[in-house]
């Protein structure tokens, strides 16, 4: 790729820290670096624990979104799901109420320190709130081994699962649990086995999944994600990584460019944020978000600006990732 100069990224850099309404992935704030290019604003927000090699792909994605025209859109709005963190079952209605009109819910399960009973209660509460016509999917983030996944999915099958996302960590385990569940009508979706894999096509070759969950940032941008979808031949669901509305806009552009889109996407996660960088955040309305670029509001960038120490940390990370991309 033709990398812009480092100064072109740092010259417009804004780093924000946004509070979450519900603790997610062990954090209660989400940090993100934002910068502007000829095409508009983009977000660089790999999770803090990711090393430079992995985070550099996220920077490549942000550069493509800020500096390059995006593929043509096939649709102007995207149906999205509600995301239910690993909360107590009694809190489910409150969280669901943040997702206007959503008829699909993704429920986090296999949380460290919790039990299968906790998962069953949470999924049961979501099914009760969504009713028989609602769609309920679960996401284990690779938290089970094959035997644990088989036990858990048998228990959760009573709640009519749309699919189970990344029930196990490895491609081999996904293939095995898919074989074990062949008579249970629970499709398997791959996420980490694609976006964090050296070979994102291995899942398809191993027949380890029925569909794939893709994210624009970790896959290097919209065009690269579209190429992976085409090469795997699997149906795709576009998701996010608890992005600001700027990052969600890139996900919406990816979903809009897919040849077919048969599932609601995980792009409604602005509803998990207590604040955003725009006064018109990409929260679902009647179950959809629009396909649109987002320009941040200056006063919100100022209000939620990260500390000088955290800004310096993100600047150093961008420098390291830029160098990594230069050397590839």
pLDDT digits 0-9 by tens, 187-220:
999 999 998 878 889 999 999 999 999 999 999 9
> Is residue 317 scored above 90 in pLDDT?
yes
Check which CATH number belongs to the domain holding 252 and give it.
3.20.20.120
Q: Does residue 88 fall inside a structural domain?
A: yes
Q: Given the residues 108, 127, 224, 253, select the one marked as catalytic.
A: 108
The per-residue pLDDT for 241 is: 84
Query: Do residues 109 and 140 touch, judged by C-beta distance below 8 A?
Result: yes
Residue 108 annotated among the catalytic residues of the structure? yes
Q: Quote the domain boundaries for residue 100.
A: 77-290
The CATH number that applies at residue 28 is 3.30.390.10
Whole-prediction pTM value? 0.96
Domain count, the chain: 2
Asked whether residue 1 is domain-assigned, the answer is no
Give a yes or no: residue 139 inside a domain: yes
**pLDDT, averaged across the chain:** 96
156 domain residue, yes or no: yes
Which contiguous run of DSSP H or E holds residue 190?
Answer: strand 188-190
Q: Which residue shows structure tokens 């398809």?
A: 204
Question: Which residue numbers belong to the known binding site for Mg(2+)?
Answer: 139, 165, 191
Helices (H), the chain: 6-10, 52-67, 92-96, 116-130, 146-156, 171-180, 192-195, 202-205, 222-232, 245-257, 298-303, 308-327
Residue 33 sits in the same domain as residue 91? no
Say which residues have a Cβ less than 8 Å from residue 313's Cβ, sequence separation at least 6: none
Say if 159 falls within a structural domain: yes
Residues 25 and 120 in one domain: no
């Amino acid at each position: 790729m033709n990398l812009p100069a480092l100064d072109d990224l740092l010259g417009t850099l804004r780093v924000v820290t946004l509070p979450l309404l519900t603790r997610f992935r062990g954090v209660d704030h989400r940090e993100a670096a934002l910068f502007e290019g000829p095409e508009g604003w983009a977000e660089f927000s790999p999770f803090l624990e990711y090393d430079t090699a992995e985070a550099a792909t996220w920077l490549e994605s942000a550069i493509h979104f800020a500096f390059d025209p995006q593929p043509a859109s096939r649709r102007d709005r995207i149906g999205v799901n509600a995301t239910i963190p690993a909360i107590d079952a009694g809190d489910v209605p409150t969280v669901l109420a943040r997702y206007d009109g959503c008829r699909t819910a993704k429920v986090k399960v296999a949380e460290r320190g919790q039990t299968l009973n906790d998962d069953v209660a949470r999924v049961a509460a979501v099914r009760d709130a969504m009713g028989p016509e609602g769609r309920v999917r679960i996401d284990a983030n690779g938290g089970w081994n094959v035997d644990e996944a088989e036990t858990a999915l048998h228990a959760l099958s009573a709640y009519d699962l749309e699919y189970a996302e990344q029930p196990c960590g490895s491609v081999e385990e996904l293939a095995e649990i898919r074989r074990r569940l062949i008579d249970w009508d629970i499709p398997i979706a791959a996420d980490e086995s694609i976006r964090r894999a050296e070979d994102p096509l291995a899942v398809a070759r191993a027949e380890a999944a029925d569909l794939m969950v893709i994210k624009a940032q970790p896959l290097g941008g919209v065009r690269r994600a579209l190429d992976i979808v085409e090469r795997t031949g699997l149906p795709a669901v576009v998701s996010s990584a608890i992005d600001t509305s700027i990052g969600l806009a890139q996900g919406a552009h990816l979903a809009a460019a897919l040849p077919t889109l048969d599932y609601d996407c995980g792009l409604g996660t602005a509803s998990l944020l207590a604040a955003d960088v725009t006064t018109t955040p990409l929260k679902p309305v009647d179950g959809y978000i629009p396909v649109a670029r987002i320009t941040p509001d200056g006063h919100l960038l100022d209000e939620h600006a990260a500390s000088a120490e955290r800004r310096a940390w993100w600047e150093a990370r961008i420098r390291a990732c830029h160098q990594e991309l230069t050397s590839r």
